[in-house]
Amino acid sequence: MAGSSRIQNILQPGIIKELIIANILGHTLIPEKALPDAKDEKGNFYEYLSSINRKNVETNKGSSFQVDRVTKDNLNRIKRNSAFYFAFFKDHPTIEEIYKVETKDVLEEAIRQLNSCKNNIAHVNFLTKWVKSTGHRVYTN
């Protein structure tokens, strides 16, 4: 099982899913909210995004991932990571697949969305089609 720091708040939003992802990828979980989600044995940092894969709906099928409260001044939240992992969950405890997307691609998309946003702060969204066409699958269940 992947290593992890002591989890101070097991009820922290997303922490259980991050623990599941880290275990699959062999990463060490970093449970502090302001830091990257995990690191590997070489010390590279990673961000995990997860979403339930909506299949039995008429509209808005697939998944939507989000990095919230992004500004041009805090893009280091993206740049500090070696890569991003997007986990598609079947239900809350079950991962269907994980895609790895390079940081440069996530940064480019974040900047594109920021530039078209009317506000100085944005919630950057990544849809299923973008993730699957930009990244590559590293895990399937």
> What is this structure's pTM?
0.88
The whole-angstrom separation of Cα 77 and Cα 70 is 8
1 pLDDT higher than 60: no
Of the candidates 5, 21, 131, 117, the residue with the CA atom closest to the CA atom of residue 70: 117
Domain 15-140: assigned CATH number: 3.40.210.10
Across residues 102-127, what is the average pLDDT?
92
Q: Which residue has the tokens 């992004």?
A: 70
Band the pLDDT of 38: cuts 50, 70, 90. Answer: very high
d(CA 20, CA 36): 16
| Local structure of 45: helix, strand or coil | strand
Instruction: Give the DSSP letter of residue 54.
Output: B
pLDDT per position as a tens digit, 48-57: 999 988 776 6
DSSP string, 56-102: S-SSS-B-EEEEEEE-TT-THHHHT-SEEEEEEEEETTEEEEEEEEE
| pLDDT, greater one: 121 or 113 | 113
pLDDT at 69 over 80: yes
Q: Rg for the chain (alpha carbons), in Å?
A: 15
Q: Which range is most confident: 10-14, 44-48, 73-77, 120-124? A: 44-48
Instruction: Report pLDDT for 25.
Output: 98
Contacts of 83 (CB under 8 A, 6+ apart): 44, 46, 100, 101, 102, 103
The pLDDT score that the predictor gives to residue 55 is 73
Report the length, in residues, of the chain: 141
Spans of all domains in the chain: 15-140
Q: How confident is the model at residue 13 (pLDDT cuts 50, 70, 90)?
A: low
Mean pLDDT of 25-45: 94
Place of tokens 């992890």: 4
Say if residue 44's pLDDT is above 80: yes
